[in-house]
Structure 1
Amino acid sequence: MIFCAPISMSLSRFHFNFRYPTLLTSICLRAFSTEASLDKERMTCEVLKEFLAIVENTPASVPKVYFAYIDKMCKTGNLTSASQVLQILNDKNIVVSPDAYNFILVEASQKNDIDISCQVLKKLLLSGESPSATLCIKFAQAFRKVNDYVELLRFIKEISETSCSSIPFINKIIFAFAKSGQKDKALMIFDHLKRWNDSCLDIITYNIVLDILGRTGRVDEMLDVFASMKETGFLPDTVSYNTLITGLRKVGRSDMCFAYFKEMIENGNVPNLITYTALINVFGRAGNVEESLKCFRDMKLKGILPSMQIYKALIHNLNKREKFELATELSEEMNSSSTCLSGPRDLRPKRRIFMSGCQSGC
């Protein structure tokens, strides 16, 4: 045999609860031995060769063995071989736990290895699995120090041309790049998909992009994307309008906030706590306390529970306008109903709504 170093490890170290064939036992020991003195490439070649023999002769009911190989190869920095193990398993229709893909993507992310990241995520997609949001974020993190977008765009284009079922995945990827602090790359993916294959975009894609632009204060671009969405044939939903109004509020465009609120109502979209919170803040900052109170009454009539944030904003603005009596009334109302007010979680449903069109795993 090609491995001749002494073996100092015992099978008990692996804590596997089933018996392996003689060949499997031998290879497990060799794959994990730190005393091997052979050249790394030669050793990898032999391990992969014998691993293939294991796959051919061992039932697929021993997934821990396969994960053990992947785990060891990742820990020794041999990500290419780990990816090859995945390919062998996929070719043999052996189901691999998403944990194995995640393990390689974590290592590839830390090494900024975009080639391996693309290979592994592609293998996961071809296996029929839906990558989780966490896996997509690990994929995106591998590109943090990469300024060459060619490989990323090639990967996205290839995936987008497979089928319309790639839409949830595309949404996760765009969201993942934004979530990992790479908003420009997220927007670039969106922009190129509009040119290449806009059938891979849906209302959720546009809502994610609107949020990215709104958070970065790129209001003019946000308005362009909103107009483009309608021109493409997508009807804005409540999330679309909330994102637009919130983005406009941040830059003080109160006139446009109210205009889009009216459009939202006319188009049959139902305003919620996020809508009214944005509007009350807009009118309050503009000194228009009357409109703020009108929105406040309107939301209560519709059965929407106010939040502590809304009460505090109204009280603050009323005091600034020297409407002390009304501010005191609201303060007492807030204190008496504090146990049944909307909480912070009700003001942060965006990620859940944005990703609601994705498959399980978000």
Structure 2
Amino acid sequence: MTDDLLNNILCIVENSADFNREIFNDIERLCESGNVSAIAKLLQFLHSKYIFLDSDAYNILLAATCKSSDIELSLVIFKDLLVSSKGMRSISYFNLAKAFLDTDDHSLLLKFVAEIVQMTSHCGVLVLNRMIFAFGECRQIEKAKIIFEHMKVLGCKPDLFTYNTIIGLLGRTGMVDDMLQEFASMKKANINPDTVTYNTLLNSLQKLGRFDLCLVHMREMDENGLIPDLRTYTALIESFGRSGNIEDALSLLCAMKNRHVQPSIYIYRSLIDNIKKMGKLETAASLLDEMNYSLPNLIGPKHFKRKYR
């Protein structure tokens, strides 16, 4: 059965440039069979004929080899996909990261990163940025850091997005010292932090209770002429509220409204909760009334969904 499927796929690929639904169905069935050797034969045939599949077909193959834990075959497919595709989708990078879940062979990852840099000299940073993001989202922080460090060794200079990504990963995992070290390295490399950078720092620092550093970076942000947005105010108001500086938190709420930055329901809930803890029940009640009155216009959960970039 598997041999028939493979032969049918090879016949279609060799004789037609149109990758129709039939070949996708056959590739899906081949992958569902779990016959990794058949997938390897398909790739060997494609290489021998200098034929590339459609990106959707490669993604089907990549997902299958990840499930079978055949990491080396997964890497071959990803490289073929990279060469053939005009635009890589996020699922390709996530499947690549999943392929490394069951291995701690860092030498294999280092070799692969070097190959990617060599293959994509014109867009290497973009590809590696997306790899770092995908590995981080798959909770493989150490491997994301390895990619980040090795790209510098290979002369592929990190850009603003690279630093914002790695700073976010380190912050979310509580590695505050490493996060601040990379922030310093970023400025040393003459890459100017943007609002996203500071928001990432502030959000991570306030969650870790480092309110003193929140103040430092808030001032620095202002000195650099960066205008706070909703995420900035959310982190700062949460920071001041949790540290007991209720008046400062309320002043920030007033400032954000004066700048026409629409507050979120989370800001109000956080403030009300912290004000109650301070025993200022009348102020909390007044703020609750304000929140209920403004409810139709407040920013809600859908606005905080993280997007793959």
The alignment's TM-score, normalised by the length of structure 2, stands at 0.91
Confirm whether residue 339 of structure 1 aligns to residue 296 of structure 2.
yes
Rg larger for: 1
Matched, 1:122 2:75: no
Structure 2 stretches lacking a partner, 5+ long: none
Q: 1:207 aligns with which of 164, 172, 181?
A: 164
**Greater mean alpha carbon deviation, residues 60-69 or residues 175-184:** 60-69
Match in the other structure for 1:249: 206
Change (3 A) 1:281 1:216: same
**What residue is the counterpart of 1:300 in the other structure?**
257
Q: Report the aligned-residue RMSD.
A: 2.4
Equivalent residue, structure 1, for 2:35: 78
| 1:316 alignment counterpart | 273
Give distance in 2, aligned partners of 1:313 and 1:264: 23
Separation (CA, whole Å) in 2 of partners of 1:110 and 1:152? 18
> 142, 151, 154: which is aligned to 1:184?
142
SS at 1:337's partner residue?
helix
1:280 & 1:55 partners in 2: Cα distance?
59
Q: Which residue pairs with 1:227 in the alignment?
A: 184
- Conserved in 1, the CA contact under 8 Å of 2:9 and 2:27? no
Say whether 1:109 aligns with 2:66: yes
1:198 pairs with one of 156, 166, 169: 156
Number of the residue aligned with 1:11 = none
CA contact (8 A) 2:12 2:23 kept: no
1:316 to partner: Cα distance: 2.0
| Alpha-carbon distance, 1:99 to partner | 2.2
Distance 1:29 1:82 in 2: 10
Listed one character per residue, the Cα deviations across residues 60-105 of structure 1 (whole Å, up to 9, x for unaligned) are 2354454355334423333344245346447756563322112111
Aligned counterpart for 2:243 among listed residues 286, 289, 297: 286
Which letter does structure 2 place at the counterpart of 1:225?
E
Q: Kindly tell me: are residues 51 and 109 of structure 1, through their superposed partners in 2, closer, same or farther at Cα, counting changes over 3 Å?
A: closer
The reply on whether 1:59 has 2:32 as its aligned counterpart is: no
Match of 2:285? 328
Alpha-carbon separation, structure 2, partners of 1:180 and 1:84: 30
Report if aligned partners of 1:273, 1:347 keep a CA contact under 8 Å in 2: no
TM-score (norm 1): 0.78
Distance 1:143 1:30, change over 3 A: closer
Large movers: runs of 4+ above 6 Å: none
- How many residue pairs were aligned? 308
Tell me the amino acid that sits aligned with residue 185 of structure 2.
Answer: S
SS in 1 for 2:69: coil
